Amino acid sequence: MKKIAFVLTTISILFLATRATAQKSQDIVDIAVSVDDFSTLVTALKAADLVGALKGEGPFTVFAPVNSGFAKIDSNTLNALLQPENKEKLGAILTYHVVSGKLAASDVVAALKKGKGKVELTTLNGATLTAMNKDGGIFLKDANGNYSKISKTDVMASNGVIHIIEDVVMP
């Protein structure tokens, strides 16, 4: 029985290590494409012509909204943003979700401790997002005073890291 438990534990560890290595060899876009809950994000990245940029060397920290976050945006507004004539506006919104450099969750937590529960992050579009401790979690506060909870951290990619958020933040 002990041998079976040992074998199962070893197989589990090898599976997780292989999965982590495979994921780390993928870039941010590859990971986003492979996750069903990022399909709206991927559509938006394509519409804004940002796929190439996020496949770049980086490193980047991406706060990636899930589909349900995009669903909170009025459907007419979202559809309008996806149109070619709004490529620049959509690009500004999407680059508001990206910070230059690789900020793992431990880096954010350390910055929050140093900043007494609050830290400002400069996004790729030049605006500021505020990470803060709130209601027992870590949230992003956008320029409009809206909050998005960081629901999962440290999805490591070859060119940075993805943190999953529940809402789209707006510049």
Predicted local confidence at residue 61, as pLDDT: 98
DSSP secondary structure string for all residues of 55-123:
TSS--EEEEEE-HHHHHTS-HHHHHHHTSGGGHHHHHHHHHTTEEES---HHHHHHHHHHTTSEEEEEB
Predicted local confidence at residue 20, as pLDDT: 45
Predicted local confidence at residue 97, as pLDDT: 98
Predicted local confidence at residue 74, as pLDDT: 94
Predicted local confidence at residue 62, as pLDDT: 98
Residues of the chain with pLDDT under 70: 1-24
Predicted local confidence at residue 9, as pLDDT: 37
Predicted local confidence at residue 25, as pLDDT: 85
Q: Which two tokens stand for residue 121?
A: 């992050």
